């Protein structure tokens, strides 16, 4: 479980491998959302972000800052957690891969959401509700509401990344090692889903983030009523991601990574290294066949997150 990982593990993982969707994915989600904001919501979002800018001393991992304020804000939470380590657990929920989706009530996802002292959220499911309440609280300072808005933009993206909704004693796929096409450097499953498959798709379609976002919006536009106007349901979204992780992210691997017991011990640095070595011995290759299974899911999850984010912001800033 990532909640038990020491800081050392987080530091040994690259930003793209440890953090949901990477620069392109989060920015694409925000750009899709932007296209579906009401004028009132769009203006309110921009007002908060413009009047309460990101601290210029904060080291931003994504160096190419998009012109859209919401797209730029979409990756802030990953930058901020390098400073505020207490927010680390807010980005994911560790539902064991061994737990079949639908085998327990939807609300039982919260059994894998710790309750830290002080009432702060212990997982991404709780963080979405927690930050939205701050955004709508006009008694809070503009700075607090803006930080909460940036978190909300980011977490709607994180929960849509299937490997942020699952744990198999491998830090959501981070403690794995496999070959990504012809790359000579071993890669981990989390990084492959966060960024590498998306970057490859961007290159193959000769598109930048804005063009890719428009294309996804065109492809999934008819789903806006279903995904964008159905209200906030982070527990259901977590189970949805968990199912996709089991069926596609892990399920399409050849050979399969063994499913660990739901009561497996938390992953520490030594266990992470051992898990990585165990998976490396399987000689898993991420190739065209795997990408053909993964990319339709990734595209749909990006669009779905964009629509859900827009719907939530439209409700918030009526």
Residue 242: strand, helix, or coil: helix
| Number of CB atoms found within 10 A of residue 292's CB | 10
**Could you tell me how many residues make up the chain?**
318
CATH class of 2-316: mainly alpha
Find all residues with CB under 8 Å of 101, minimum gap 6, and list them: 239, 242, 243, 246
**pLDDT of amino acid 9:** 42
Residues 46-56 as b/e (b if ≥16 CB within 10 A, e otherwise) read: eebbeebebee
Question: Residue 210 has what pLDDT?
Answer: 97
CA 283 to chain centre: 27
For 174, counting Cβ atoms within 10 Å of its Cβ (0-12 exposed, 13-18 middle, 19+ buried), the class is: buried
Q: How many CB atoms lie within 10 A of CB 164?
A: 30
Question: What pLDDT, on the 0 to 100 scale, is given for residue 19?
Answer: 55
How far is the C-alpha of 316 from the C-alpha of 313, rounded, in Å? 5
d(CA 317, CA 148): 14
CA atoms within 13 A on the CB side of 49: 20
Q: What would you report as the CA-atom Rg of the chain, rounded to the nearest whole angstrom? A: 18
Instruction: Going residue by residue through the chain, which has 318 residues, state the pLDDT in tens, using 9 for 90 and above.
Output: 343 343 334 434 433 344 568 999 999 999 999 999 999 999 999 999 999 999 999 999 998 889 999 999 999 999 998 776 688 899 999 999 999 887 878 888 899 999 888 888 999 999 999 999 999 999 999 999 999 999 999 999 999 999 999 999 999 999 999 999 998 899 999 999 999 999 999 999 999 999 999 999 999 999 999 999 988 999 999 999 999 999 999 999 999 999 998 877 666 888 899 999 999 999 999 999 999 999 999 999 999 999 999 999 999 999
pLDDT of 13 reads: 42
pTM: 0.93
């Amino acid at each position: 479980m990532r909640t038990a990982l020491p800081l050392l593990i987080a530091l040994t993982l690259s930003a793209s491998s440890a953090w949901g969707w990477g620069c392109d994915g989060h920015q694409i989600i925000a750009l899709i959302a932007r296209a579906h904001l009401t004028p009132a919501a769009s203006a309110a979002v921009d007002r908060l972000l413009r009047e309460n800018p990101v601290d210029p001393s904060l080291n931003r991992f994504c160096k190419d800052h998009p012109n859209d304020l919401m797209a730029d804000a979409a990756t802030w939470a990953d930058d901020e957690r390098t400073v505020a380590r207490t927010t680390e657990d807010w980005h994911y929920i560790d539902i064991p891969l061994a737990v079949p989706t639908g085998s327990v009530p939807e609300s039982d996802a919260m059994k894998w959401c710790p309750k830290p002292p002080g009432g702060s959220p212990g997982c991404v499911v709780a963080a979405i509700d927690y930050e939205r309440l701050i955004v709508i609280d006009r008694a809070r300072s503009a700075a607090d509401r803006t930080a909460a808005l940036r978190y909300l933009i980011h977490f709607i993206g994180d929960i849509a990344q299937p490997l942020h909704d699952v744990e198999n004693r491998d830090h959501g796929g981070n403690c794995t090692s496999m070959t990504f096409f012809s790359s000579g450097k071993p890669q981990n499953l989390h990084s492959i889903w966060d960024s590498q498959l998306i970057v490859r798709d961007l290159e193959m379609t000769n598109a930048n983030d804005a063009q890719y976002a428009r294309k996804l919006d065109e492809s999934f536009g008819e789903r806006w009523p279903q995904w964008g106007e159905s209200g906030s349901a982070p527990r259901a979204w977590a189970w949805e991601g968990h199912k996709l992780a089991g069926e596609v992210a892990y399920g399409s691997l050849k050979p399969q990574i063994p499913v660990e017991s739901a009561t497996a011990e938390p992953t520490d640095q030594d266990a992470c290294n051992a898990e990585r070595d165990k998976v490396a011995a399987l000689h898993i290759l991420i190739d065209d066949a795997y990408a053909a299974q993964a990319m339709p899911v990734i595209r749909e999850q990006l669009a779905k997150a964009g629509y859900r984010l827009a719907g939530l912001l439209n409700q918030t800033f009526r």
